[in-house]
Amino acid sequence: MANTLSAWDRYKKYLCVCPSVGMTVDSSRMNFGEDYLGKMTPALEKAFGAMDRLEAGAIANPDEKRMVGHYWLRDAERAPTAELRAAITGTVEKIKRFVGEVHAGKRAGQGGKFTNVLVVGIGGSALGPQFVADALTTAGDKMRVFFFDNTDPDGMDRELARISLADGLSKTLVVVISKSGGTKETRNGMLAAAAAYKVAGLSFAKHAVAVTGEGSELDKVAVSEGWLERFPMWDWVGGRTSVTSAVGLLPAALQGLDIDALLAGAREMDGVTRVHDAKKNPAAMLALMWYHAGCGKGLKDMVVLPYKDRLLLFSRYLQQLVMESLGKEKDLAGNVVLQGIAVYGNKGSTDQHAYVQQLREGINNFFVTFIEVLKDRAVGDAGNSAAMIVEPDVTSGDYLHGFFQGTRSALAEKGRESLTITVDELNAKTIGGLIALFERAVGLYAELVGINAYHQPGVEAGKKAAGVVIALQLKVLKHLRSGKSGTAEEIATAIGAAGEVETVHLTLRHLAANPEHKVAASGTDVVGCVYRAG
């Protein structure tokens, strides 16, 4: 059935108003027919049922035979056993106690009271903490937060240089986060940080804490080296849904953010999105709109366009949450379905001077999720005593709002679909709410399309593939150090890796470019040059 109502009537009809979480979701500019919600009701009811069972402790991740319990993290009473409830509340108390001691200077670095936090982690063990830190930072933060979120040595050098300009390592607390405790990028970040402390004549153990699964490799290192503290991660919390566990709470609390408000916002949003009524449930509306836009096959990309600088990292955070959860080869029955929704975005109005041109006039392969924040800024904070007037009766924030509305209308005029999430104001509570909103939307959408949102076989495959390259590199180096030389093809054949000549070639190019390996290349032919130890 075609959509026959006026834009304003559709707006009134489909606006999902959630006063308890300070948010509304407007789906009226998605071009679904008036009978769409009714048609989807049976499938949505099934999805609601599956989410209810998941929250009650069912094995919702069948491949890994795990429960999926991120909702319990902000409402421990919902956890299925007393042991889990105690673990959740005990961890929040432990975080607060530890952070209180750090802020009071009772736990200090070798240079005195800790003023910096260096978080070492990747993927779900970094993106949530990074988003929260950037969204809620103020001039009044209790500690500055830095990140190692890759195994790029230059990236780590750059972060260390920033730390040295800000009180240095002796006042820096290093928080190493890895659920599995075996992720190489994080292990390398930890080793690089430890080396930097050594060079500075400092004890790394006296500045380090771990967030990891009990008994993991990282946990063993923390125990054997006598690190300051250890905080748990559990198998029933997925990496990309771990921001309301110690993974996100510890860095946020150290920064001085209100973690109780973050948890309360997530808890309240969980309450709102648990309701079995699409029009009152913003997560259900999002999931249904994603399904409508991409025909349940991810045929349209999701462009996340917040008109708020503080939400800049939200699209990166959502990119992982959505794409790692929904990007799956097979459905739960084992059929090849090649599911997923591509997510990208940055912020408005900045992006109007970049890719929005294509959104308005080019290929129509997307839907936009606008995020609007009603309150422009915290007047009174950080010396913001007056509104930023740029023209009579017009503030800089009014322009931001004008650009948001203008783009939304311009897209609609051209038949481009959009959703709009309006947030009353940005604070720890609404950030918690936004996180919970999308976690639930992803869970519901996964049920609608019949996939496991909670495993990540592709990520595991990538981790293994890197190991194969490193093993080959060690063979190549052994060969060269035995006094032999040759082209990539000759070396690959000599080490019994003729079938992997391209990997050998790429590895040799990288080895020769980095002096620590002492590999020399002679000749100008990129593919035919001769390598030797030198």
- Positions touching ligand PA5 (CB under 6 A) are 122-125, 178-180, 183, 186, 238-240, 324, 456, 459
Place of tokens 């109780």: 260
Residue 27 or 151 with smaller CB distance to ligand PA5: 151
Going by the DSSP 8-state scheme, the letter that residue 330 receives in this structure is B
CB atoms within 10 A of CB 323: 19
Shortest Cβ 454–ligand PA5 spacing (Å) = 9
- Residue 345 β-bridge partners: 304
Cβ pair 128, 285 in contact under 8 A? no
Residue 135 or 211 with smaller CB distance to ligand PA5: 211
Shortest Cβ 296–ligand PA5 spacing (Å) = 24
H helix or E strand, kind and range, residue 301: strand 301-306
Residue 324 or 447 with smaller CB distance to ligand PA5: 324
Half-sphere exposure of 367 (CA within 13 A, CB side): 25
Instruction: Quickly list DSSP for 253-293.
Output: HHHT--HHHHHHHHHHHHHHHTSS-GGG-HHHHHHHHHHHH
Residue 217 or 424 with smaller CB distance to ligand PA5: 217
Shortest Cβ 449–ligand PA5 spacing (Å) = 19
| Dist CA 381 CA 139 (whole Å) | 9
Which residues have C-beta within 8 Å of that of residue 69, sequence separation ≥ 6? 57, 79, 84, 234, 236, 237
Radius of gyration of the chain, Cα coordinates, nearest whole angstrom: 25
Q: Is 345 left (phi over 0), alpha (psi -120 to 50) or beta?
A: left
Shortest Cβ 174–ligand PA5 spacing (Å) = 15
Shortest Cβ 136–ligand PA5 spacing (Å) = 21
Active site residue 83: no
Cβ pair 438, 321 in contact under 8 A? yes
| Dist CA 302 CA 293 (whole Å) | 9
Residue 210 or 504 with smaller CB distance to ligand PA5: 210
Half-sphere exposure of 406 (CA within 13 A, CB side): 10
- Beta strands per DSSP E along 179-233: 208-213, 229-233
Which residues have C-beta within 8 Å of that of residue 146, sequence separation ≥ 6? 116, 117, 118, 119, 159, 162, 163, 172
Catalytic residue among 65, 83, 353, 464: 353
Shortest Cβ 190–ligand PA5 spacing (Å) = 11
Place of tokens 């993106």: 127
Place of tokens 């390259």: 469
Catalytic residue among 324, 372, 417, 447: 324
| Dist CA 355 CA 359 (whole Å) | 7
Catalytic residue among 220, 401, 463, 517: 463
Shortest Cβ 146–ligand PA5 spacing (Å) = 18
Active site residue 353: yes
Residue 109 or 123 with smaller CB distance to ligand PA5: 123
Cβ pair 117, 175 in contact under 8 A? yes
Residue 120 or 480 with smaller CB distance to ligand PA5: 120
> Which residue in the shown chain puts its C-beta closest to ligand PA5?
239
Shortest Cβ 79–ligand PA5 spacing (Å) = 20
| Dist CA 372 CA 441 (whole Å) | 19
CB atoms within 10 A of CB 97: 11
Active site residue 324: yes
Residue 179 or 479 with smaller CB distance to ligand PA5: 179
Going by the DSSP 8-state scheme, the letter that residue 216 receives in this structure is S
Catalytic residues: 324, 353, 463
